[in-house]
A and B are shown apart, each in its own frame.
Chain A
Amino acid sequence: MAKYQIKLKNTALLDRWRSLEESIPSQMQRCKIFLEENHHNRLRSGGKLKKLKGRLQGILQYDLTDNHRVHYRVDTVAKIVYIEYIGAHP
């Protein structure tokens, strides 16, 4: 299966991604591989993937740690994962 390209919404989000790559490198590497190869696969996520519901249908959430999560959408035609938000887990 072809890998998906990852794109981030803005430079602030890219900076956040880079910062987390330094503070939690292994989790970020796992997340990157997951988004590129298995972005919809619950089993492969090890319980870290949530598929949002209702008015947020189409947005997926990947839990990086107990404190951090990524929200993203997927364009399956263009094979791109669009990261919309990286933030603290409530």
Chain B
Amino acid sequence: MASLAFHDKIVNASDLRKNQKYWLEKAASQPVTVTYGINNLAILNRDQLRKLYQQSYYMEKAIQFYTSVVRQEKSDVFPWLDYLDAGDMSRFITEFTDAVLKAISIDDWSDVETLLEDWKATAETFHDRAAMRALKAKSRKADYIALE
């Protein structure tokens, strides 16, 4: 399956030197493999490579996280989840799953990154007693002091 998804063009080093412009333009949209001795070297678009790295990074995190959920163990990959109660943990799982599925379909992981940052900040706030005391303390809007 994976080999079907990876369509590259193959060129040897001599042909690459002769038709550099053609092959570099080709590599902008499709990986070009350069055969060089016993090695196969690839030239590919940096954005595509970044996306592949991101996908690999977050998919690994997601699988590790779901494994901990199935085993009912603490998450090593997102240790801050320990600070969430059952209701927020359930909300996190729903939002994280939706974000991962969307990222796979549109090939953009930036929303997953943002979601994790927001939930991490949320969990750390829950864990911070002084912050929670301040956030829970009721105050009338009229009592707030304007910053001059």
Contact residues of A with B, CB < 8 Å? 5-11, 13-14, 17, 32, 42, 50-56, 59, 61, 71, 75, 80, 82-85, 87-88, 90
Contact = CB atoms under 8 A, between A and B. Distances in A.
B125 interface: yes
A54 B139 contact: no
Interface in B115-148: 117-122, 124-128, 130-131, 134-135, 137, 139, 141, 143-147
Interface residues of B, number: 31
Given A53-B119, A55-B87, A56-B122, A87 B144 contact: no
B88 A53 contact: yes
Chain B residues touching A, majority SS: helix
A54 B124 contact: no
A41 to B, nearest CB: 13
A10 B139 contact: yes
Contacts of B120: 50
Given A8-B147, A82-B144, A90-B127, A52 B122 contact: yes
B147 A17 contact: yes
A53 B91 contact: yes
A69 B119 CA distance: 16
Given A52-B125, A84-B134, A90-B124, A9 B147 contact: no
Contacts of B144: 7-9, 80, 82
B91 to A, nearest CB: 5
